[in-house]
């Protein structure tokens, strides 16, 4: 009976174990090995030695440093901004009465759309071509500002579009989570505070924020992780040759090392991926430490 | 008396100002969200000539045309991309559901040696980002000669540690008594899973299903690595190709028509199931 | 502070049916005297909580005015009325300590009312002492028992020394033993502070036991207001008679003929009114078993419950329940044969109500 049960359990798990083993556990070990195999040749699958050269190469590669800088700027701008805007919109949503569901549905729309496809629309809106300044530039002109090519122009303009689009893409999820967190705060707390004559700002900082802090914190952690892994929205705006555009991200660098015109270097790709993993892990641990002090868990 | 009336009036004005600000914010964001969709629809029905003749883009058109849609399906193999994506989405989702349901059942209901250890390992795998394992998977699939094949596209995408975890938690909420009663009646484990657990947990299963469909439909990175033959392109890669080599020339209205075509299935699904999808995502989705 | 309600009315849009209105509070017009403990009593959904919310200002009345002493507070925001409120689930801020919860309202004060840290601390401690929780100041709400949470909530409501204290179902979340204790506590705190206190409850025993005055409501309408004992002894209508008292009052179909009240063939009492069909309601303690009594019932059983003895019997004309419940002194001799028992009735425990409008006759 017992051994039969044992067998049955493993049998039900077999498909998952095979897939996870081949496509997750094995690659995890393999990526570590790749990252220390020096001079790995993809065609002959041979390597010349073992060491940390791959890491050193990646860390000295100007393309990687550019990608690192881009990614950090993107993270630093979009994570606080998107969380803040999402909070603002969620607060407004919870006051919108019978229009709440309508707005909520509209706001969620970007979540279900193809990042690449809508990115193309953003590109067209921001792009300056031979025929037209593009809609956004015309808008800027009417406000008395000069037109800029946001797609192939100066760095700050490109970074602006990227941040804008990233926020547009990540906001639906954040709004959804925060709206339901806000809605689940017991109305009695607000009534008590009102009877006590608590000012709106104090209600917000002393009651609302602590009550939704677990959700807020969850969003900040996933926001950091997500933003560090930015890639497809960058491709959507600037095309696949991100190094040339100067807009590459760490993940983009990993893929470029693996495949494409500059590809064929799984060792460098592995080293870069592990560096990314180390950064994300560090940030997450810092987040967790900060949250211990500031997040209220029921 | 007068003082009280004044106070009251002040409060009403304050409230009106506040509500105006609330709706202003909501409407502005709604416009920012909806405008790209409007713009892509609008541009897709402008003719190539009239679009390029507009130095100042027009906000509506009086002579809509479907020629771009015709072009999207004839000049580039959009139908092919579309079909590939449907095949990829359907097979991946179904395979994943089977794998996920079977393992969630084993973890929640069956007793066997090593279960706790295995589950701990599973949980720790949840923290591993896809970017870390994709490198080796790329090499594995390439070495297996599965580049440019559905098998190569699908196989690495059929497990999700997170969904196993989500469903296992849900399965565990079914009271033990039901299982015991079924055992007394001589119901087999498999029949119990099929006839009792799956129907009870249908909401979670549907949620996982929908989330996976969205994920598959928008998949870009893996398909891009593993296919360079247009016959196996999915819509995301198709769009990228259209963008880069396009319709022979930069034909933005035709590009927008393609974008509309590939965006519409998910938007329709969303409009029908928006409550279910939003509820599901808030319980189990992550993005961004 | 006395509270005066003038034609107070609140009408809601129905939550269940479109375009239908619910009158939660219907033309309330009465005065609550200063320094009393008032029990607002009625079945659930009768508009008690709405009344409370109107008084504290969380809801605006559809019509009518509210006065605190001579000041019309109808248009004042809750914080300008000087009320303290305790919610049914206490609504203690879960992330703040007891001390922080109690000081919270004081920290809201600004301008010339602003208090120093020491003053806040002192006041919070005083009120905590009043409700006897001063040793729990550093705990979090989830580390307290239900009764303690209740007292913290009262302390928080009292810390600004409000003129009016409002309690919404204060005892409903407590178990039976704590309920007895806590209601005595509420009584004591109210007496010590002398604050006009209104508490809402659906439990008539609770209301009767500690209130100076009770207000009985039904479907938004005021049924009766008065000292508990007089409301119990002199109900103005059938609803009040039925709502107060355990076991509940026994109601019979009866009629008046030639200024005499009958149930079936049995003469009950004299009543100087026209001939008509009436309800005859008799309190359980209004029955006196007597060998040749005038009221005949079918005997079922005798239940002895501690100091009381209850005779359970049946009567075809009884419409309140299948069983007629009576409570008699345990030293009275009870005569009955196999299936019949006879009673005399106490006239002051027997009430006659009109069949038309259920009002007392």
Same domain, A276 and A144: yes
Q: What is the pLDDT of residues A64-85, one digit of tens each?
A: 999 999 999 999 999 999 999 9
What is the band of B288 on the pLDDT scale with cuts at 50, 70, 90? very low
Tally of domains in chain A = 2
All structural domains of chain C with their residue ranges = 3-237, 250-354
Among A273-282, B229-238, C104-113, name the one with the lowest average pLDDT: C104-113
One domain, residues A47 and A104: no
Residue of C nearest to B11 (CA): C77
Which pLDDT belongs to residue B87?
A: 94
Inform me whether the C-beta atom of residue C137 falls under 8 Å from chain A C-beta atoms: no
The pLDDT score that the predictor gives to residue B287 is 43
Q: Are B43 and A115 in contact (CB under 8 A)?
A: no
CB of B198 within 8 Å of any CB in chain A?
Answer: no
CB burial of B220-242 (b: ≥16 within 10 Å; e: otherwise) equals bbbbbbbbeeeebbbbbbbbbbb
* Among the listed residues A82, A294, A86, A91, the one whose alpha carbon sits nearest the alpha carbon of residue A182: A91
In which order are the strands placed within the sheet that holds C63-68? C21-32, C3-13, C63-68, C71-72
Which residues, given as ranges, of chain C have pLDDT below 70? 15, 17-18
Q: Is A200 on the interface with C (CB under 8 A)?
A: no
Mean pLDDT of chain A: 88
Is the pLDDT confidence value at B286 over 60? no
pLDDT score for B276: 83
Of residues A24, A30, A112, nearest to B266 (C-beta): A112
CB spacing of C87 vs A191 below 8 angstroms: yes
Q: pTM for this structure?
A: 0.83
**Residues A2, A86 share a domain:** no
Domain covering B76-284 in this structure, CATH number: 1.10.3720.10
CB contact under 8 A, B7 and C72: no
* CATH code for the domain of A268: 1.10.3720.10
Tell me the average pLDDT across B35-64.
Answer: 84
Quick one: which of C38, C53, C56 has its CA closest to C225? C38
Give residue-wise pLDDT tens across range B192-216.
Answer: 888 889 999 988 898 888 889 988 9
The 3-class SS string of chain C reads CCEEEEEEEEEEECCCCCCCEEEEEEEEEEEECCCCEEEEECCCCCCHHHHHHHHHCCCCCCEEEEEECCEECCCCCHHHCCEEEECCCCCCCCCCCHHHHHHHHHHCCCHHHCCCHHHHHHHHHHHHHHCCCHHHCCCCHHHCCHHHHHHHHHHHHHCCCCCEEEEECCCCCCCHHHHHHHHHHHHHHHHHHCCEEEEEECCHHHHHHHCCEEEEEECCEEEEEECHHHHHHCCCEHHHHHHCCCCCCEEEEEEEECCEEEECCEEEEECCCCCEEEEEEECHHHEEECCCCCEEEEEEEEEEECCEEEEEEECCCECCCCCEEEEEECCCCCCECCCEEEEEECHHHEEEEECCCCEEC
Last-in-domain residue among A32, A51, A70: A51
Instruction: For domain C3-237, give the CATH number.
Output: 3.40.50.300
Predicted local confidence at residue B3, as pLDDT: 63
Task: Name the neighbours of B, counting chains with at least 3 Cβ pairs within 8 A.
Answer: A, C
- What is the SS3 assignment for B162? helix
Any chain C CB within 8 A of the CB of B19? no
Q: Do B8 and C80 touch (CB under 8 A)?
A: no
| Confidence bin at B2 (pLDDT 50/70/90) | low
| Complex-level ipTM | 0.88
Residue ranges, comma separated, of all CATH 1.10.3720.10 domains in chain B are 76-284
- Give yes or no: residues A20 and A126 share one domain: no
Given A14, A33, A51, the domain boundary residue is A51
Cβ of residue A191 closer than 8 Å to a chain C Cβ: yes
Of B34, B243, B285, the CB nearest to A173: B285
The set of chains that have 3 or more CB pairs under 8 A with C is A, B
Question: Hey, which residues does B247 pair with through a beta bridge?
Answer: B249
Residue A1's pLDDT is 46
Contact criterion met (CB < 8 Å) for C79 and A195: yes
Instruction: Please name the residues in contact with C273: beta carbons below 8 A apart, sequence gap of 6 or more.
Output: C256, C259, C352, C361
Residues A259 and A132 in one domain: yes
Identify whether residues A187 and A138 lie together within a single domain.
Answer: yes
Q: Are residues A25 and A76 in the same domain?
A: no
Same domain, A74 and A221: yes
Domain of residue A41 covers 1-51
- Domain match, A42 and A88 both: no
Residue C247, preceding bond cis, omega within 30 degrees? yes
Question: How many Å apart are CA A5 and CA A2, to the nearest integer?
Answer: 5
Tell whether A98 is within 8 A of chain C (Cβ): no
What residues of chain B lie within 8 A of the CB of C80, using their CB?
A: 7
In the predicted model, is pLDDT for residue A190 greater than 80?
yes
Distance from C-alpha of C169 to C-alpha of C88, rounded to nearest angstrom: 5
- Confidence band of B284 (pLDDT split at 50, 70, 90): low
A49, containing H or E segment: strand A49-50
């Amino acid at each position: 009976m017992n051994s039969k049960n044992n067998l049955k359990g493993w049998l039900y798990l077999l498909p998952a174990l095979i897939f996870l083993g081949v496509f997750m556990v094995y690659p995890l070990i393999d990526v570590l090995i790749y990252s220390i195999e020096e001079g790995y040749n993809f065609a002959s699958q041979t390597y010349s030695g073992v060491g940390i050269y791959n890491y050193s190469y990646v860390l000295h590669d100007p393309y990687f440093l550019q990608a690192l800088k881009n990614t950090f700027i993107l993270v630093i701008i979009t994570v606080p901004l998107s969380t803040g805007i999402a909070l603002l919109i969620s607060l407004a949503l919870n006051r919108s009465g019978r229009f709440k569901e309508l707005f909520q549905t509209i706001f969620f729309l970007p979540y279900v759309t193809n990042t690449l496809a809508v990115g193309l629309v953003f590109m067209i809106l921001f792009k300056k071509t031979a025929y037209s300044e593009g809609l956004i530039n015309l808008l800027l002109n009417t406000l008395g500002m000069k037109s800029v090519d946001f797609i192939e122009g100066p760095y700050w303009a490109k970074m602006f579009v990227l941040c804008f689009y990233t926020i547009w893409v990540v906001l639906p999820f954040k709004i959804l989570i925060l709206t339901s967190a806000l809605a689940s705060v017991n109305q009695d707390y607000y009534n008590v505070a009102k009877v006590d004559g608590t000012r709106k700002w104090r209600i917000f900082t002393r009651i609302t924020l602590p009550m939704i802090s677990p959700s807020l914190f969850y969003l900040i952690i996933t926001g950091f992780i997500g933003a560090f892994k930015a890639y497809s929205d960058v491709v959507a705006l600037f095309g696949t040759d991100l190094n040339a555009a100067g807009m590459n991200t760490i993940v983009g660098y990993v893929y470029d090392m693996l495949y494409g015109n500059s590809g064929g270097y799984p060792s460098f790709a592995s080293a870069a991926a592990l560096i990314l993993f180390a950064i994300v892990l560090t940030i997450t641990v810092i987040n967790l430490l900060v949250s211990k002090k500031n997040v209220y868990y029921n | 008396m007068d003082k009280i009336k004044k106070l009251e009036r002040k409060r009403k004005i304050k409230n009106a100002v506040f509500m105006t600000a609330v709706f202003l914010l909501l409407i502005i964001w709604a416009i920012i969200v909806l405008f790209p969709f409007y713009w892509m629809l609008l541009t897709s029905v402008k003719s190539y000539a009239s679009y390029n003749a507009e130095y100042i883009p027009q906000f509506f058109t009086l002579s809509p045309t479907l020629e771009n849609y015709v072009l999207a399906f004839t000049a580039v193999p959009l139908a092919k991309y579309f079909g590939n994506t449907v095949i990829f989405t359907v097979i991946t989702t179904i395979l994943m559901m089977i794998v996920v349901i079977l393992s969630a059942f084993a973890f929640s209901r069956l007793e066997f040696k090593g279960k706790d250890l295995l589950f701990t390992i599973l949980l720790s795998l949840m923290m591993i980002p896809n970017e870390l394992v994709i490198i080796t998977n790329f090499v594995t699939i390439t070495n297996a000669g599965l580049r440019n094949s559905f098998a190569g596209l699908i196989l690495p995408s059929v497990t999700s540690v997170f969904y196993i975890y989500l469903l296992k938690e849900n399965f565990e909420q079914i009271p033990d008594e039901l299982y015991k009663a079924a055992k007394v009646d001589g119901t087999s484990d498999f029949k119990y899973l099929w006839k009792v657990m799956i129907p009870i947990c249908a909401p979670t299963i549907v949620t996982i299903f929908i989330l996976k469909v969205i994920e598959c439909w928008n998949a870009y990175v893996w398909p891009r690595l593993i296919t360079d033959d247009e016959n196996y392109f999915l819509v995301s890669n198709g769009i990228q190709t259209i963008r880069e080599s396009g319709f022979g020339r930069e034909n933005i209205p035709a590009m927008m028509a393609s974008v509309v075509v590939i965006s519409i299935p998910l938007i329709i699904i969303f409009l029908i199931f928006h409550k279910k999808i939003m509820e599901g995502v808030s319980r189990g989705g992550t993005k961004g | 502070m006395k509270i005066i309600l003038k034609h107070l009315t609140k009408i809601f849009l129905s939550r269940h049916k479109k375009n239908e209105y619910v009158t939660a509070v219907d033309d309330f017009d009465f005065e609550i005297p200063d320094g009393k403990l008032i029990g607002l009593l009625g079945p659930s959904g009768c508009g008690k909580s709405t009344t409370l919310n109107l008084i504290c200002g969380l809801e605006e009345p559809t019509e009518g005015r509210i006065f605190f002493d001579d000041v019309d507070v109808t248009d004042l925001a809750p914080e300008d009325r000087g009320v303290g409120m305790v919610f049914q689930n206490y609504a203690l801020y879960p992330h703040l300590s007891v001390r922080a919860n109690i000081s919270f309202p004081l920290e809201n004060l600004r301008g010339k009312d602003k208090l120093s840290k020491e003053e806040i601390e002192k006041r919070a401690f005083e009120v905590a002492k009043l409700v006897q929780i001063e040793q729990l100041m550093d705990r979090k709400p989830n580390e307290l028992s239900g009764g303690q949470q209740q007292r913290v909530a009262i302390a928080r409501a009292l810390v600004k020394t409000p003129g009016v204290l409002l309690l919404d179902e204060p005892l409903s979340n407590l178990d039976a033993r704590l309920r007895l204790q806590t209601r005595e506590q509420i009584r004591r705190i109210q007496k010590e502070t002398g604050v006009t206190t209104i508490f809402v409850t659906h439990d008539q025993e609770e209301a009767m036991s500690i209130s100076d005055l009770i207000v009985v409501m039904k479907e938004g309408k005021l049924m009766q207001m008065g000292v508990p004992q007089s409301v119990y002894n002199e109900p103005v209508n059938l609803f009040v008679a039925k709502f107060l008292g355990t076991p509940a009052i026994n109601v019979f179909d009866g009629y008046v003929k030639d200024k005499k009240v009958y149930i079936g063939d049995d003469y009950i009492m004299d009543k100087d009114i026209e001939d008509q069909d009436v309800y005859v309601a008799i309190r359980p303690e209004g029955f006196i078993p007597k060998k040749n009594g005038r009221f005949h019932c079918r005997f079922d059983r005798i239940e002895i419950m501690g100091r009381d003895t209850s005779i359970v019997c049946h009567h075809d004309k009884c419409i309140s329940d299948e069983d007629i419940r009576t409570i008699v002194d345990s030293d009275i001799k009870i005569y009955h044969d196999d299936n019949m028992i006879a009673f005399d009735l106490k006239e002051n425990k027997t009430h006659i109500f009109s069949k038309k409008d259920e009002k007392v006759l």
